[in-house]
Amino acid sequence: MAIITISRGTYAGGKDVASQLAKDLDYPVLSREKVLHEIDRDYGIPARTINKTMNGAPPFWQQVPGKRLAYVKCITAAILAHAKEGNLVYHGVNGHLLLSHLPQILRVRVIANMEYRVEALMKRETLSKEKAIAHIQRVSKDRSRWTKLLYNVDWKDPGLYDVILNLDKVSTETACTAIASMVEQKEFMPSPENQKVFEDFNLSCRVWAALASNPATNSAVIEVKANDGEVIIGGTVDSVKALELIPQIARSVEGVSSVLCDIGVGTGWYW
């Protein structure tokens, strides 16, 4: 199994690389937009709700750290639902960080200069050059803030990626050829050990997503871990009702064989 995450700035060409690469490798391709649609369908959480939570100002994040983490796990669970069927190319914000717990993820960043990006945006939308630049800068700022608040890293840090491809210097075709050759290397080959890591992480994310879909439990400040079907949940909640519901909801998730909870009721929202 090879999972390729492609991080790209707005209109930097990453979507084109992802589409062409998926075609070349005969892999399915998945975008953030499709993921949000599936979360709405499967968990009843509208995309606008997730976007509002993730793009909220720092004070809002401090008030509901459990909710924004739960939504992150919803996104991760939706990605993994596709990855478990085989190979996958995912392009969207912070895919490499969402899947950071997994080995054998090929983390790609696609970059391009502002002129390239502005021209691409102006071709797609009826915008002046000034408005196109303002749009790209605004989106980039929001993404940088989102990454900093959630992961405390700079998403432009080259150390977060296995390879960075500059579309000012190479064509989409050349970029895809380079990525495809890396997938065949031993570092990205599957193993039974890595498959277990994948399955445990996938189950923990699905439990988290199930909790996120319930208004009584979606703000719980918890940690969910899984090991061969056993789920361990620790943390704090703000009500006795949430305390009672969490193990019930966790047990209802397919693949869960047992649930161990170490949860208290409190208001310790900062962690």
DSSP assignments along 193-244, one per residue: HHHHHHHHHHHHHHHHHHHHTSTTTTT-EEEEEEETTEEEEEEEES-HHHHH
Kindly state the tokens that stand for 203.
Answer: 């189950």
pLDDT higher than threshold 60 for residue 59: no
Interval 141-165 mean pLDDT: 85
pLDDT higher than threshold 90 for residue 246: yes
What average pLDDT is seen over the chain? 87
DSSP state of 252: T
pTM, to two decimals:
0.84
Cα(253)–Cα(37) distance, rounded to whole angstroms? Answer: 21
pLDDT of residue 270: 36
Task: Place 267 in a pLDDT band, splitting at 50, 70 and 90.
Answer: low
pLDDT of residue 67: 74
Per-residue pLDDT tens over the stretch 121-131: 998 888 899 99
Q: Which of 114-123, 144-153, 194-203, 249-258 has the lowest mean pLDDT?
A: 144-153
Most confident of 31-45, 52-66, 72-86: 31-45
pLDDT of residue 269: 38
pLDDT higher than threshold 50 for residue 198: yes
